[in-house]
Structure 1
Amino acid sequence: MKEQNSKEINNKFEEVTVKTDHIFQGKIISLQVDEVKLPNGKMSTREIVKHPGAVAVLAIHEDKMIVVEQYRKPLEKNQIEIPAGKLDPGEDPQTAALRELKEETGFDCGSIKLINSFYTSPGFADEKIVLFLAEDLTQGEMQLDEDEFLSCESITLEQALQYIKEEKISDAKTITAVYAWQIYKLTGKI
Structure 2
Amino acid sequence: MPPKPVPEILAKQTVAKSRLFSIESLDLRFSNGVERNYERMAPSGRNAVMMVPITARGDILLVREYAAGTENYELGFPKGLIDPGETPLEAANRELKEEIGFGADRLTPLKEVILAPSYFSSRMTLFIAQDLYPEQLEGDEPEPLEIVRWPLAQAEELLSHLDFSEARSISALMLTLRHLKLVGESHDSMSKE
Q: Same fold (TM over 0.5)?
A: yes
Offset, 1:56: 0.7
Aligned to 1:79: 74
Bigger Cα displacement from structure 2, 27-36 vs 114-123: 27-36
Structure 2: gaps of 5 or more residues: 187-193
Tell whether 2:45 aligns with 1:54.
no
Distance 2:162 2:148 in 1: 17
Aligned to 2:9: 17
Deviation string, structure 1 residues 24-62 (Cα, Å, up to 9, x no partner): 444443221111112221211111113421111111102
Offset, 1:185: 3.5
Distance 1:148 1:27 in 2: 21
Q: TM-score, normalised by structure 1?
A: 0.85
Deviation string, structure 1 residues 156-183 (Cα, Å, up to 9, x no partner): 2355432321332111221112112222
Bigger Cα displacement from structure 2, 148-157 vs 35-44: 148-157
AA aligned to 2:87 is: D
Number of aligned residue pairs: 182
Distance 1:89 1:31 in 2: 22
Aligned to 2:189: none
Bigger Cα displacement from structure 2, 82-91 vs 155-164: 155-164
Match of 1:177 among 158, 172, 175: 172
Structure 1: gaps of 5 or more residues: none
Q: TM-score, normalised by structure 2?
A: 0.84
Distance 1:29 1:86 in 2: 14
Tell whether 2:99 aligns with 1:107.
no
Question: 1:160, 1:169 within 8 Å by CA — same for their partners in 2?
Answer: no
